[in-house]
Amino acid sequence: MLSHTSLYILDIALMGMGIYALIAKRHIIKKIIGVVIIEYAINLFLILIGYRAEGVAVAPIQDAEIGATELAAKAVDPLPQALVLTSIVIGLGTLALMAALAIKLYEKYKTFDMSEINRLRG
């Protein structure tokens, strides 16, 4: 069983991995994957903020079996989940745009190597 802190550390490690892929890899698709990993690490971070380490966490939905006070004490924070959903949608938009650009770049330059795509300089 992992403690709360180590979850955060793992999350930051995931983000570091994304940054590594973004900086060190020259392949366009790998760069895109790096960006997506960074995005997801932040999303995971937001989810972790709403997580309750103590006690049993339940989904933030009220029904007949669970009273309002018990729900407030036990349920995970729903706001970060709503925020993450929005941020995932935005991530989907950017990912689609990145994929489209990657296809178009390949059409024009016949390569996925970012170091060969260098017409703009100075």
Partner 1 sequence: MNHILPLMVGIPLGMAVITLILSKIHNRIADISATATTIATAAMSFYLIGTGESTYWMGGWFPPFGITLVFDGLSSLLLIIVNTVALLSVVFSLSYMEKYTAKPKFYSLFLFMLAGMNGVVLTGDLFNMFVFLEIASIASYALVGFGVEHEELEASFKYLILGTVASTMVLLGVALTYAMTGSVNMADVSAMLKSFPATKTMAFAAGAFIMGFALKSGLVPFHAWLPDAHPSAPAPVSAMLSGVLIKAIGVYAMVRVIFDVLGASPVFLEIMLVLGALSMAVGGFLAIGQWNLKRMFAYSSISQMGYVVVALGLGTHLGFIAGLFHLFNHAAFKSLLFLSAGSIEHATGTRDMKELGGLAQRMPVTSTTTAIGALSISGVPPFNGFFSKLLIILACVAAGRWFLAALAAGVGVVTLLYFLKAMRFSLFGELPKALSNIKEVPFPMAFSVIALAVVCLAVGVIFLVDPAFSDIFLQPAAEVLMDGLKSNASSYIASVLGG
Partner 2 sequence: MDIKEITRDKSLGMTIIVKTISRLIVSFILVFGLYIVLYGHITPGGGFAGGVILAISYVLLILAFGGKVAVAKMSGFWASMWDNLGALAFVVIGFLGLIGGYFFLNFINHGTPGKLISAGIIPLCNIAIAVKVGAALYAVFLALSIYGRISTEEDE
Does position 61 bind partner 2 by CB under 8 A? yes
- Told to check if 101 binds partner 2 by CB under 8 A, we report no
Long-range (24+ apart) CB contacts under 8 A made by 8-12 are: 8/45, 8/48, 11/41, 11/44, 11/45, 11/48, 12/41
Which of partner 1, partner 2, none does residue 63 bind to, with CB < 5 to 8 Å depending on kind? partner 2
Q: Among 35, 57, 75, 88, which residue sits at the site for partner 1 (rule: CB under 8 A)?
A: 35
Decide which of partner 2, partner 1, none touches 45; Cβ closer than 5 to 8 Å per partner kind.
partner 1
- Whether 100 and 12 have beta carbons less than 8 Å apart is answered as no
Question: How many whole angstroms separate alpha carbon 110 and alpha carbon 65?
Answer: 60
83 near partner 1 (CB under 8 A): yes
CA separation for the pair 41, 66 (Å, rounded): 32
Contact positions vs partner 1 (CB under 8 A): 22, 28, 31, 35, 38-39, 42, 45-46, 49, 79-80, 83, 86-87, 90, 93-94, 97-98, 101-102, 104-105, 108-109, 117-120, 122
